[in-house]
A and B are shown apart, each in its own frame.
Chain A
């Protein structure tokens, strides 16, 4: 086992255990703490998988933005009893059974799939230059899809790839964010109560 493997298993265990703890813990702020570890662990996985930029975005947006927003929301609504709202035992039992079934379904799906048509060897990190390509693909100045055929099971017809770039989705997403910004500000604005008449 190489050191990278060891690192992967440590990060993966941390991520998985924290994710379970998010579910198990009853206190909502502690759940936020475990969620922090989960998100940081996921960012660590991204770094291990060569996706430096995605990992940094994950840290910046999730940990620096979303999580703080969530805790802020908890603090605004934290009145003693709501910090520890808990579901009933029956609901827990059903949830655990459903969760195990779902995990089994997903696990069997990727364990029983024949992944041989995918190259099992990851790309050589010395030749991959993800971040530059990522930026150029988002700008639309470079074809994001390398030429080739899509991987299919042996014996099927090979599928040619179409050429795509991501400038239009990028613009749509930025406009979408602007809309969300305005919408959230509108929804959460301080409004006067109608008074006692209604």
Chain B
């Protein structure tokens, strides 16, 4: 890449991040919220890899951080899905607004 610089890649990361936040806020389906978190993590990953590419000092560390983020995302998705399935078993819905048993 010659003219595409750091800022353009950061812009993509920011779009992914904001889309993820919006997805978490607006979706009422619990699995939709999960998709939002994946988007947020992806936005962060794009930034990590962008800094890794554009700066020599970080070109290993950025990628390693991205790898760890992906692993964490896998773990988070597995646990969250287990929780969603449990929630569905107990409440027969996946609407996150219905999760208010602990409301005082």
Chain A residues near B (Cβ < 8 Å): 1-2, 4-5, 8-9, 12, 15-16, 19-20, 22-23, 28, 31-32, 35, 38-39, 42, 45-46, 48-51, 53-54, 57-58, 61-62, 65-66, 69-70, 72-74, 76-77, 82-83, 85-87, 91-92, 95-96, 98-99, 102-103, 106-107, 110-111, 115, 118-120, 122-123, 128, 130, 133-134, 137-138, 144-146, 148, 150-151, 161, 164, 166, 169, 173, 176-177, 180-181, 183-184, 187-188
Contacts and interface: CB of A to CB of B under 8 A. Distances in A.
Query: Helix, strand, loop or mixed for chain B's interface?
Result: helix
Interface string B17-29: 1111111011111
B22 A120 contact: no
8 contacts: A28-B32, A39-B42, A82-B95, A85-B95, A102-B18, A106-B18, A107-B11, A173-B68
A15 B18 CA distance: 13
Q: How large is the interface on B (under 10, 10 to 19, 20 to 34, 35 or more residues)?
A: 35 or more
- Report which residue of B10, B25, B32, B50 has the largest number of chain A beta carbons within 10 angstroms of its beta carbon: B32
